[in-house]
Structure 1
Amino acid sequence: MTSSDFSTFGRGARRRDFYLRIVAILAVAAFGRPGTAMADVTAARGGDSRAEQFVQAGAQRILSILADQGLSPAQKTAKFRPAIDDLADVPKITNFVLGKYARTIAPDQRRQFSTAFRAYAETAYKNRLDDYRGETLKVTGSVVRKPGDVIVNTLVSGGQMARPAAVAWRVLGSGGAWKVVDVQFKGVWLAITQQQDFVSTMDNAGGDVEVLIAQLQRDAQRPAVSQR
């Protein structure tokens, strides 16, 4: 995995590291203001060893699956989905990225969006399987924002990366029951960015969630674009 990136969805297109993008798309929901969380990451000392162990094991498990050259694409996909589900709360991200529209969307539309959203994300993942070559993740510390709310700081390195990348993971829970709820990369909380993009798309369509669903469905059908 190098610094090669890909375009994000919607008008406010930005470029992000692919692996972190996938984690954000499939499995994160943000709570609170991003500025507050960033301040805590910068000033933090100490932390929660159980939350750190959870992130170390869960995130490294995903990286190992992606980098395993002994697995076929179908086998990687089969292993990738449950690994993501174990790492983070997928239903929460589905609700969170809808922003204010989560309060008004009809149940049938919510089901359609959930299906389209995951298909969109998994298509992006499948299109970039060859980008992984043995990256590893190391926890460097954590901070307890409040009981059950921890930011775990890590470095991702190795493989095709020119230099280590700092990544912060916000996790909620206690004891052995934790879930990732947001991921910070290059100073940006990615779940919040995804929500902003989707809400902007629906705002521009007069609040019509069907427009977003249709766009996700189209994007999920797009063939891979060579990055080499």
Structure 2
Amino acid sequence: MKIFKSLAFFLYILAFVFFCDVTYADQNLDSPEEYIQLIGNKTLGVLDREDYTSIEKIDQISKILTANLSVKRIAYFVLGPYRKNLSLVESERYINLVKRFISEVYAKRLLSYSHGIINVKNSKDRGKLGIIINSSITFADNPNPIRIDWWVIENNLGQLKVFDIRVSGVWMAQEQRSTFTAFLSKNNGSINKLMQRMEVQLE
């Protein structure tokens, strides 16, 4: 059972958009659409850097992902009702496992992807819940654009973070939540068994 299958694709798409930690104030941005477009353009350029070694790209991408995703919020969300079973000690280990997957597994996969172009279309403000940004990404080796909807939230420092992404009508973090909770329901809600399974997949 590949418990990270959905999350892997979710994170795979995300890296094409987020290259650095940016706030509206830092970049004098007028809209969230402009934010996504600006960061997307910078990120896509990394794949074309011939002066970067594979190791350098992996290192940069790892830092990019952990800095710009709402990792802790996503990690807790996908546990669903089983979050209450997570102890303080387990919480630290669990968050670190999610970060490891992002940095060790995903970053390496990204290197095989071709250059892409992001086209940001519009957004919908959902108040305290965040902003939904509509876009499409066209990759060099695939002429058919992929429809992507971004659920962006703002943290208490005023920084934009991605909480979820919808691809072909499916919210990826919510789908991952279904996968995690299904695993936990078959294992007496054991967070420890879930983490053991995660560690096996990270080997």
Which TM-score band applies after superposition, normalised by the shorter structure?
0.7 to 0.9
Q: C-alpha deviations, 1:72-99, integer Å up to 9, x for none?
A: 2321122113322443322211211222
Residue identity matched to 2:160 = W
Q: Which has the higher contact order (CA 8 A, sep 6+)?
A: 1
**Equivalents in 2 of 1:17, 1:67: separation in Å?**
22
Q: C-alpha deviations, 1:12-70, integer Å up to 9, x for none?
A: x977884x343679xxxxxxxxxxxxxxxxxxxxxx95211222233444433345443
**Equivalents in 2 of 1:104, 1:216: separation in Å?**
17
Q: C-alpha deviations, 1:106-139, integer Å up to 9, x for none?
A: 1111112122222233343244234322112121
TM-score (normalizing by structure 1): 0.71
**Aligned counterpart, 1:217:** 199
Matched-pair contact (CA < 8 Å) for 2:65–2:102: no
- Out of 132, 140, 161, the position equivalent to 1:159 is 140
TM-score (normalizing by structure 2): 0.78
Q: How does 1:114-153 map to 2 (within 5 A)?
A: 114-146=95-127, 149-153=130-134
**Aligned counterpart, 1:70:** 51
Matched-pair contact (CA < 8 Å) for 1:21–1:190: no
Q: Percent same amino acid among aligned pairs?
A: 20
1:185 is the counterpart of 2:167: yes
- Out of 25, 28, 36, the position equivalent to 1:55 is 36
**Backbone CA RMSD of aligned residues:** 3.0
What SS does the aligned partner of 1:206 have? coil
What SS does the aligned partner of 2:105 have? helix
1:204 is the counterpart of 2:186: yes
Matched-pair contact (CA < 8 Å) for 1:156–1:167: yes
Matched-pair contact (CA < 8 Å) for 2:58–2:108: no
Matched-pair contact (CA < 8 Å) for 2:121–2:134: yes
Structure 1: gaps spanning 5 or more residues = 1-7, 26-47, 222-228
Residue identity matched to 1:217 = E
**Equivalents in 2 of 1:213, 1:17: separation in Å?**
16
Matched-pair contact (CA < 8 Å) for 1:61–1:83: no
Structure 2: gaps spanning 5 or more residues = 16-28
What SS does the aligned partner of 1:71 have? coil
Count of residue pairs brought into register by the alignment: 189
